[in-house]
Amino acid sequence: PQSHPVAQFDFEKGVDDWTGLYDQPKTSATQGASGKTCFSLATRRPVNREYLSPFFQVEPGKKYRISCRVKVDRFEKGPCPLCVNIRWYFAPNETCGLGGWNIYRLTPDSKEKTFDWKTVERVVEVPIRKWMKGELKYGRIQIRNYRTVGSAQVDDVTITEVDPSTPASNGIPKITK
């Protein structure tokens, strides 16, 4: 497997290559986890915000470690102020991806509602299913909230291929300070 990242987003050069589905993505001028800027997700009323990274190539059946740094400043009301997902695609520039494998999701049941920077990672396998019309060869990172008032930041998103013997995380991310 590769030791260098398949894709990496540190937001030091902004978010011009990211796509916003409800509005344009923004970076925060506040201190990022490892640099001067980070991805900023903030709402003052319970609305949806969803942002997608540029496409990056993956290989069907291979496993990838997706890691990022997350921080939540405010969580007032709503089901989810921050969700980081991986979405799969058959071709670049496809508009509708498959699934939304959670890398991290904060909910009203979470013990900590606000926190400083944490590292979150999950190992996922690119799915192969008999019913699919082809092979999934592309991925995108999705950063979003669900009808929630709050503010959160994401930084240092990295996707790296891992050894095939590495166990997949089965929906449970590894979280460290």
Per-residue pLDDT tens digits for 124-143: 988 877 777 788 889 999 99
Instruction: Report d(CA 53, CA 55) in Å as an integer.
Output: 6
Instruction: Report d(CA 87, CA 136) in Å as an integer.
Output: 10
Task: Give percent of the chain above pLDDT 90.
Answer: 28
Read off the DSSP letter of residue 53.
P
pTM comes to 0.89
Instruction: Please give the pLDDT value at position 4.
Output: 78
- pLDDT for 1 beyond 60: no
**172 vs 72, residue with greater confidence:** 72
Instruction: Please give the pLDDT value at position 117.
Output: 93
Instruction: Report d(CA 116, CA 138) in Å as an integer.
Output: 32
CB contact burial 125-146 (16+ within 10 A = b; e otherwise): bbeeeeeeeeebbbbbbbbbbb
DSSP for 108-153, please give it: TT-S-SSEEEEEEEEEEE----TTSSS---EEEEEEEEEEEEEEEE
Q: pLDDT tens digit string along 31-87? A: 788 888 898 888 888 888 888 999 999 998 899 999 999 999 888 877 887 889 888
